[in-house]
Structure 1
Amino acid sequence: MLRRFIQHVRENNILDVDNRYLLAISGGIDSVVLAHLMDRAGFTFSFLHCNFQLRGKESDADEVFVRELAQKLNCAVHVKVFEPETYMKAQGVSLQMAARELRYGWFEQMNRDNQTDGVVVAHHADDQLETILLNLLRGTGIEGLYGMSEKRGCVLRPLLPFSRADIQAYLTNKSLHWREDSSNLKTIYKRNFIRHELFPLLQKFDPKGPELMNYSFDRVKDTGKAFFYFFEQWLRQHVIQVSSYEYLDFKSLEGVPGKTSLLFYWLRSKGFVYAQVKEMVQAMADSVSGKCFFSGSWMVNIDRERLILGKKQSGEVSMTVETHAISFRTDDQTSYEIIHLREGWQLDRSTDNALLDRQLLEFPLQVRNWEQGDKFRPLGMAQFKKVSDFLIDTKVPLILKDRVKVLCSAGEIVWVIGHRIDDRFKITQATKEVVYFKKK
């Protein structure tokens, strides 16, 4: 096993004899074997040992064993005593999760503080399969079938190709001593149940069952890499960014297999879950225009033949624009320059901008969210119209309606910002001074 270990870490550039490492050691079989392999292979390392105080005298005896082993291998040892139950209650997580978060948080801190080249842990092939099966039981996607990486952040896992049987054989051959964690025998924990109840059944069905399953999952992992390669190409080609919104036309999904997965991997970083995406796909198929889906501060709006992704309205906006102001901002994305013109102005037909008659305005002006019941006279019309009806008639998507602001003078709407000015405040031949609001 030593020869295979050295060959593996060299070929895959996992460990280097010129580097210094920290080795996470519990005193159990796996970490003891890893310590001896690294020592025999000539790597430089120090021990990291977590004492979680969960098994009373057993936990303290583990620490003593690790310190004695460090002396035998002539390496330094760092010990941290934790209180996982206190952390569990404070964070509202399970005891196992509390221990995990405390452990890996300390690993990262020690790697930084000691300026070492990584923290080596003893996860092996059987641990890998347990992790993948647990992920499947949680309803994971393709990435959950990847399992653990040999290198992730500062954590290094050089034993992943080796089975528990390989490690046990090395231990027996070298007559090594170790500490048995009694909690590993308790099948109330899901991982232990898989190890002690499910694995024996798999091996009874086929002695090579676990090995073949790991091989299958390795193939799935490679297939997943191909999927994400093509997914990124699809994303760049079809998702269009406009201001703070992303747009996706339904046509980009026509005849495409796995459309639910494509949408999920587009939206998951915003907190949307797979079940929501399935509902979106069904709503698209049923042409349910106007339907919205929410996740935290984000929302997806089905707008006729496209999806629009953007942030929800963050709250009420209310500000004043003084006479001397040279600009104003409606939200984090949109700002306008204010230009006062007495001559030489030209007509600007862009709805992004507004040319208003200065003599008809009463400063300070007010910028606010539009409200139900608001009315104005859209440019070119003789009758008043509700802002809500105007937005419907001009087919403004629901996700964008919440962000629409109005510019008011003495309580009267003079401009539905970015959409239409009020006819009463337009410039005419009699206009002597223009206030030009120009989008930056």
Structure 2
Amino acid sequence: MLDTLQAALAKYDIDSRDKLLLAISGGLDSVVLLHALLELGFQAELAHCNFGLRGEASEEDAQFCQRLAQQHDLPIHIKKCETETYAQEKGLSIQMAARDLRYAFFEELDLLGNYRAILTAHHGDDQLETMIFKLARGSALEAVAGIREKRQKYLRPMLGILRNEIEAFAKERKLTWREDASNAETKYLRNAYRHRLIPLWEEIQPDLKGKMLLSSRLLREQSEALDELLEEKLSQALVREEDWERLNYDSMVDKAWFGQLLYKWLSPKGRWDWPAVHHLWQSRKGRYTENEAYRLYQGEACYELRKQSSSQSVNLKIATDDSQIDNPIQLDFEVLPREKVKLDGLREHHFLDYEALEFPLILRNWRDGDRFQPLGMSGTKKLSDYWIDQKMPMAEKDSQLVLESAGEIVALIGHRIDHRFRVRNSTKTIYFVRLK
């Protein structure tokens, strides 16, 4: 066992000079890990969470860990947590609440101690239970591969060691530890796997645990290989701007890993209706699916992602004598004689026939069903179709404002005016709208 532990530490360049933090519960696993580290010449500070879930037994666990630290002259950090209160406030199960509080405590300590690694005593049997648990929940490759040996500063050097080896180590050295009675309760699914399913499985396949640890290593290698492939594909196909992202998928939709690519890209951005995400590419341009924070559009052989618009509803009246507005956008308005104006093609400049307008004008958000006659065209067109024709990112339309006169759109602000309100040869007065 010591050789396996030594190899796991050496794999990540951990040596006896490093400052380590060891999560100590007082149970068999963490007590054995502590003694094994000491035998190998390592030192560590100890961290114990008192979750207060087992009354006097929880207090006795904390006292046991305190004595253990004193016995080996090691620093120890103990925190008492209001686990049940936290679970109720956050709407979590007790197990998840305890996990959150535990890791929050470790992070607090690391901010002060800046440890080389934070060690936990997860072992091979924990790995097997996790793999079964994740597989039964319908999880993907990354989860079914089980617990990572290393994640950031967290290191689990006993994942290659089975519980019977740990028990043998403790028995040989006559170690003492605390037993958590809840570990025997099969009302918890993980415990049911441990005490009922796995022993039955081992009767059928005695080498189950060794084979499952091998599977875990192979699955982890495959998961990491897939992750590298997806990173490479994302770097090639993903375009990021300040407030939107575009994934060019034209050569990818028939690949076996396309769904995993979408998951890697979008999963950090909240919960999604994944079937809707996967099938969006089969929809016509402009269709979308969304979550609370983002909207994902079907574009031109691409997906376009934009944060949900938090802009307020706009419906402003513009009077004849208004010269500017500053919110929600900055616009200048001028009434000018035709001979003093030199027309240009800038998208920010809208030159309109003043006599064709009816005041007050209305500046508002565009709406589904809006139509206008793009400058130079003979017929009207839906704005949604106009975006498609112009090959504009569909996400841009969310914040688009239009200028309206007597119910007719006269300009898409920052894009194009309506042909019916253009400056003609007969125009004497120009209404100039400038987007700053």
Residue in structure 2 matched with residue 35 of structure 1 by the alignment: 34
* 1:157–1:381 distance in 2 versus 1, CA, 3 Å: closer
Q: Do the aligned residues in 2 keep the contact of 1:323 with 1:364 (CA within 8 Å)?
A: no
Residue in structure 1 matched with residue 5 of structure 2 by the alignment: 5
Residue in structure 2 matched with residue 175 of structure 1 by the alignment: 174
Q: Mark the runs of 5 or more structure 1 residues left unpaired by the alignment.
A: none
Residue in structure 2 matched with residue 63 of structure 1 by the alignment: 62
- TM-score for the superposition, normalised by structure 2: 0.83
Whether 1:296 aligns to 2:292 is yes
Q: Do the aligned residues in 2 keep the contact of 1:130 with 1:195 (CA within 8 Å)?
A: yes
Q: Distance in 1 between matches of 2:409 and 2:81?
A: 63
| Displacement of 1:368 | 2.0
* 1:124–1:167 distance in 2 versus 1, CA, 3 Å: same
Q: Do the aligned residues in 1 keep the contact of 2:22 with 2:119 (CA within 8 Å)?
A: yes
| Displacement of 1:410 | 8.2
Whether 1:20 aligns to 2:31 is no
Q: Do the aligned residues in 2 keep the contact of 1:22 with 1:118 (CA within 8 Å)?
A: yes
Q: How does 1:109-128 map to 2 (within 5 A)?
A: 109-128=108-127
Three-state SS of the structure 1 residue aligned to 2:399 is coil
* 1:8–1:401 distance in 2 versus 1, CA, 3 Å: closer
Whether 1:78 aligns to 2:73 is no
- TM-score for the superposition, normalised by structure 1: 0.83
Q: Distance in 1 between matches of 2:377 and 2:277?
A: 38
Cα deviation code 1:40-96 (max 9, x no counterpart): 222232221222222222222222221221121111222212221111111111011
Q: Distance in 2 between matches of 1:265 and 1:56?
A: 43
Code of the residue aligned with 1:71 in structure 2: it is Q
Q: Mark the runs of 5 or more structure 2 residues left unpaired by the alignment.
A: none
Three-state SS of the structure 2 residue aligned to 1:251 is coil
Q: Distance in 2 between matches of 1:5 and 1:376?
A: 72
Q: Do the aligned residues in 2 keep the contact of 1:290 with 1:304 (CA within 8 Å)?
A: no
Q: How does 1:181-196 map to 2 (within 5 A)?
A: 181-196=180-195
Q: Do the aligned residues in 2 keep the contact of 1:260 with 1:278 (CA within 8 Å)?
A: no
Q: How many residues align?
A: 426
Three-state SS of the structure 2 residue aligned to 1:253 is coil
Q: Distance in 1 between matches of 2:246 and 2:76?
A: 55
Q: Do the aligned residues in 2 keep the contact of 1:5 with 1:159 (CA within 8 Å)?
A: yes
Residue in structure 1 matched with residue 342 of structure 2 by the alignment: 345
Code of the residue aligned with 1:191 in structure 2: it is R
Whether 1:435 aligns to 2:432 is yes
Residue in structure 1 matched with residue 375 of structure 2 by the alignment: 379
Residue in structure 1 matched with residue 411 of structure 2 by the alignment: 415
Three-state SS of the structure 2 residue aligned to 1:23 is strand
Residue in structure 2 matched with residue 354 of structure 1 by the alignment: 349
| Displacement of 1:369 | 0.3
Whether 1:391 aligns to 2:387 is no
Code of the residue aligned with 1:83 in structure 2: it is E
Three-state SS of the structure 2 residue aligned to 1:54 is coil
| Displacement of 1:318 | 4.6
Whether 1:312 aligns to 2:305 is no
Code of the residue aligned with 2:19 in structure 1: it is R
Q: Do the aligned residues in 2 keep the contact of 1:326 with 1:339 (CA within 8 Å)?
A: no
Code of the residue aligned with 2:384 in structure 1: it is L
Three-state SS of the structure 2 residue aligned to 1:171 is helix
Q: Distance in 2 between matches of 1:115 and 1:280?
A: 41
